[in-house]
Amino acid sequence: MAIHAGRHQFGMDKGRITLRTFREGLVAQAGHDLIIDVARWSADLVVSADLAPVSLKVTVDLGSLLVRDGTGGLKPLTDRDRREIAVTARNVLKADRFPQAEFNATVFQRRPDTSDGLAVADGGGTVRGTLSLAGQTAPVELNVQSAGSGKYQATTSIRQTDFGIKPYSAFLGSLKVRDVVDVEVQVDLSTAREQETAA
């Protein structure tokens, strides 16, 4: 199913945004590779009459980060650990001063074998735009793949230092969070018609 023309507004009810962090350093075995969910986010997608995406705006509430899982480490994560890590992550991201991150895209490039710029067909495509995070803005490119009728998966990697963020470290730097954080977005727009408004 190709996305139809109009304005589509969606969020947590239609998908998930997941962050993946990785440890490094001399005592990396003491830390955890983390899977963090964004509990509150929204998106606004505009598609033209010729079914080409025109714009995409995604707003993320950085105060809604939830640690879903952690692998590795000397012991499993407790609920208290998850809460403390989420607080630390918000501090690292300067969420008290910049409570939201915002991605704005205006360049949608489909691969030759796709039916539209949102990668409805198997070949996928790319979405380019800018990410505003922690008071700074930098370009970001999403790699988009179709995951079935009206369903999409987008991935990218974000370097924290590109946004003036100092990655978390402990034990005098011998345990650190890797600068690059992986981002995965899963969206199901198969019922998007119900939320359509005029473009």
Q: What are the tens digits of pLDDT across the range 115-167?
A: 555 544 445 799 999 999 999 999 999 999 988 778 899 999 999 999 999 99
Give the global pTM.
Answer: 0.85
Give the pLDDT score at 173: 66
What residues of the chain score a pLDDT lower than 50? 1, 114, 119-122, 194-199
Indicate the residue type of 195.
Q
pLDDT at res. 122? 47
Computed on alpha carbons and rounded to an integer, the radius of gyration of the chain in Å comes to 18
**Domain ranges (residues) in the chain:** 6-195
Report the pLDDT value the prediction gives residue 199, as an integer from 0 to 100: 39
Three-state secondary structure of 77-122: CCHHHHHHHHHHHHHHCCCCCCCEEEEEEEEEEECCCCCCCCCCCC
- The pLDDT assigned to 3 comes to 67
Right CATH number for 6-195 from 3.30.1490.190, 3.40.50.300, 3.40.50.2300, 2.40.128.110?
2.40.128.110
